[in-house]
Structure formats: structure tokens, C-alpha cells
Amino acid sequence: MIQVLTCIGVLLLLGLVVWVLINQCCNSETFQAKNTKMCIFDIDNTLTHGADAKKVCPTTVFIDDPPPHWPPTGGTTQTVKDAIKKCQQQGYGIAIATAENASQFDTSSQHKFIKSLMPDIDFKKPNFQESCTIITSRDQKNQLYCKSNEFKDKTAMYINIMNYNNIPPNEWKNSIVFDDALSNLTTAGGLGFKVCQASPQCGGVYCSSGCALPPHCLDVIT
């Protein structure tokens, strides 16, 4: 009788251990299925257009009142919305890599705007990269350096996104970076990503006449 009770107790204990392990696996981010390819978007002049864009891009379908309206002197375009939708339909994960400093990106208006385009984006997860995810140093006043300073080299941002999604470097060629800055596209291309330039009318740098993603960027999403 004692042996039977002992065996039952051992079985119950083993069952509890198995249940705990399964529960941890199912709820742990480590074991969650990640994306196998990514669409990585910049924000300014990529997801948004400049204040003077309508003067130089008459055929672009501008969406300046989603709502929410962002930035105050700009907005987004139908091509941007189509690109995000096509990325999702083709099985890409969605991520953002922006050089903005904390005072620029950490605003409720911009967060609402991004959420209106990408409802599933989580600003606390590595699929959202900004200056403060890279720079953690503080100045002499103990203020975060990234609060008022941009971080323009996106190498670490791209690597963070791909590592978070468990995508090895030999598969980065299946992912796409959309950005207006030629320097960032050069960085991404050097890492093996496919790239498409946003706001090409600005010549690879930020300008007020940027028209966001051009229609041919949709052809890159396959």
C-alpha cells in the first residue's frame, strides 16, 4: 500500500513538473514563433511625407487626416499603407528603425499615428528601434544622451531586429529596409538586406519635399 501511494505521489510530481515546463514554454517569449523575414521602416520621410511634398508629387495620394494626423505639417500616403499591407500579406514581420531622439519619438501623437498604420507594433519590444535602444549613456547632468541626440548609424538597430526574430545573417537577404537616407540604405545593403529608397526627390537626405515611399517600392515586396 505504501509503495502504491509512493508511486502515485511520484507520478503526480512528474505531472506537475511537466505542466510547469509546458506552461513556461508556451508563455515564454523565447519559445514564441518569430518572423522569418522582415520589412523594416524608417519613420520621417518614409512612413511620413514632408510639408512641401504636394508641390513636387502631384500624382501621390496623400492621407493627411487618418486620424491621427502626424506630423503636424505632413501625413502619410496610400503607397505607405499599401506597402505595409503587402508586407503582411507576403508573410513579413513589421519593424521600425528610426534615428529620432527621445524627445522626437516619445510623443503620444506619433505613437498614435504609428499604431494607426501598424496596430501590432510594440514600442517596448526590439522590433521598434530608436536612439535610446542603442545609446544608454548619460551626460554630466545625468540625463540620457539619447534624449536630445539622434543616433544615425542604424547598424546595431538592424542587427537587434534580426536577432530578436532569430533570423541568421545568411537569410537577411530576404528582408527589406525602407529608408530615405542613402547612408542607411548603404548600411543595410552592406549587411545583405534588400533596400528601397523613400523620398528619392530629396537626394538621400532629409528635406521638406519628401513624398514618402514611391510606388515602385511595392515591387520589392515579394
pLDDT digits (tens, 9 = 90+) for 59-80: 999 998 766 666 778 899 999 9
174: cell is 530576404
Q: Residue 26 has what pLDDT? A: 41
- 203: alpha, beta or left? (left if phi > 0; alpha if psi -120 to 50): left
Report pTM: 0.82
Cβ neighbour number for residue 162 with a 10 Å cutoff: 25
Spell out the domains of the chain, with CATH numbers in brackets: 41-220 (3.40.50.1000)
pLDDT in tens, 33-61: 578 999 999 999 999 999 999 999 999 99
Strand 38-41 to strand 176-179: parallel, antiparallel, or no bridges (unpaired)?
parallel
pLDDT score recorded for residue 201: 95
The better pLDDT of the pair 12, 83 is held by: 83
In this structure, the number of other CB atoms found within 10 A of the CB of residue 36 comes to 14
Residues written for the chain: 222
State percent of the chain over pLDDT 90.
63
H/E run at residue 32: none
205: amino acid identity, one letter: V
